[in-house]
């Protein structure tokens, strides 16, 4: 994931790209695709995952409105590293390699945004890897929910099956983690819905330094 886009760079991306629409569940690209374009998400959420040798889907991240993906293929020429699926209805602007290359050549602000964003993405990937060893299932879920509601949306449309894929957990572990968070008064759950009751406390709970460890 790249950092949030400066308004002027965002306008340049939109002008240089083509708007595309995807229905929920539709493939946006597949692991191994040779495509060096960058994509700006206009609306909706995109889930990135890959399949391991025994056929298990492992989720890497979920990006939403205002975020950009495709920086690794763009910069390196390597194939796509993950499958990208529209988790909801999605509109995005896809900027071909040639147009993006021209843009960063002409606009230092676009080049700087891209470089800084890649650095942030690498740091975030390392944090995610580290959390899998240091955090309980409940803490990992709390971190995911706290991040998902940063925009101010306190009601999240999430199925337990989708959470399990994102966090690489079993359905049973997700159910237990949700119950633990609900018992603490941090969330309230319904079918396919999670209401965040206290985002600040939820984020604090997700920090392993808090010392709160729940059953996984």
pLDDT in tens, 189-203: 988 889 999 888 888
Q: Which of 81, 116, 131 is the last residue of a domain?
A: 131
Is pLDDT above 70 for 86?
yes
Instruction: Supply the pLDDT for residue 205.
Output: 87
Which structural domain, as residue segments, surrounds residue 198? 135-210
Q: Which of 131, 156, 190 is the last residue of a domain?
A: 131
Model confidence pLDDT, tens digit, residues 57-78: 777 777 888 888 998 899 889 9
Residue 155 belongs to domain with CATH number: 1.10.10.10
Asked if residue 30 and residue 110 are part of one domain, the reply reads: yes
CB-count burial class (<10 Å; 0-12, 13-18, 19+) for 27: exposed
Is the pLDDT higher at 24 or at 214? 24
Cβ proximity of 37 and 70 under 8 Å: yes
Instruction: Supply the pLDDT for residue 101.
Output: 92
Residue 184, C-beta contacts closer than 8 angstroms, at least 6 positions apart: 205
Asked if residue 106 and residue 163 are part of one domain, the reply reads: no
Is pLDDT above 60 for 1?
no
Distance CA 196, CA 198 (A): 6
Asked if residue 117 and residue 31 are part of one domain, the reply reads: yes
Is pLDDT above 90 for 167?
no
Asked if residue 113 and residue 14 are part of one domain, the reply reads: yes
CB-count burial class (<10 Å; 0-12, 13-18, 19+) for 119: exposed
Model confidence pLDDT, tens digit, residues 87-99: 899 999 999 999 9
Beta pairing class for 38-43 and 68-69: antiparallel
Number of domains forming the structure of the chain:
2
Q: Which of 102, 131, 160 is the last residue of a domain?
A: 131
Instruction: Supply the pLDDT for residue 67.
Output: 84
Instruction: Supply the pLDDT for residue 129.
Output: 64
Cβ proximity of 194 and 144 under 8 Å: no
pTM (whole model) above 0.85: no
Query: What is the average per-residue pLDDT within 18-43?
Result: 94
Distance CA 128, CA 22 (A): 28
Instruction: Supply the pLDDT for residue 214.
Output: 32
Q: In terms of DSSP H, where are the helices of 50-158? A: 71-76, 97-106, 108-134, 137-148
Instruction: Supply the pLDDT for residue 178.
Output: 93
Lowest-confidence range among 33-47, 50-64, 141-155? 50-64
Model confidence pLDDT, tens digit, residues 103-150: 999 988 888 888 887 777 777 667 666 666 667 889 889 988 888 887
Asked if residue 142 and residue 171 are part of one domain, the reply reads: yes
**Residue 195: strand pairing partners:** 155, 188
Other CB atoms closer than 10 Å to residue 194's CB: what's the count?
24
Distance CA 119, CA 35 (A): 21
Query: What is the average per-residue pLDDT within 42-69?
Result: 81
Model confidence pLDDT, tens digit, residues 12-22: 888 899 999 99
**Among the listed residues 194, 155, 154, the one whose alpha carbon sits nearest the alpha carbon of residue 174:** 194
Is pLDDT above 60 for 212?
no
Instruction: Supply the pLDDT for residue 151.
Output: 66
Confidence of residue 3 (pLDDT cuts 50, 70, 90): very low
């Amino acid at each position: 994931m790249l950092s949030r886009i400066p308004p002027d760079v965002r306008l340049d991306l939109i002008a240089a790209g083509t708007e595309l629409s995807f229905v929920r569940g539709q493939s946006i690209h597949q692991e191994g695709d040779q495509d060096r374009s960058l994509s700006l998400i206009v609306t909706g959420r995109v889930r990135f995952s890959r399949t391991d040798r025994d056929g298990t889907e492992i989720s890497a991240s979920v990006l939403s409105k205002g975020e950009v993906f495709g920086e690794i293929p763009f910069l390196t020429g390597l194939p796509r590293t993950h499958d990208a699926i529209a988790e909801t209805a999605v509109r995005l602007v896809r900027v071909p390699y040639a147009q993006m290359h021209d843009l960063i050549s002409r606009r230092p602000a676009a080049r700087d945004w891209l470089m800084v964003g890649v650095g942030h993405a690498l740091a975030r990937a390392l944090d995610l890897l580290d959390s899998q060893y240091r955090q309980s299932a409940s803490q990992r879920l709390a971190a995911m929910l706290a991040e998902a509601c940063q925009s101010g949306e306190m009601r999240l449309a999430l199925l337990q099956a989708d959470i399990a894929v994102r966090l690489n957990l079993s359905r049973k572990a997700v159910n237990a983690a949700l119950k633990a968070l609900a018992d603490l008064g941090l969330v309230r759950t319904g079918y396919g819905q999670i209401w965040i009751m206290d985002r600040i406390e939820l984020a604090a709970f997700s920090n392993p330094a808090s010392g709160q460890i729940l059953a996984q």
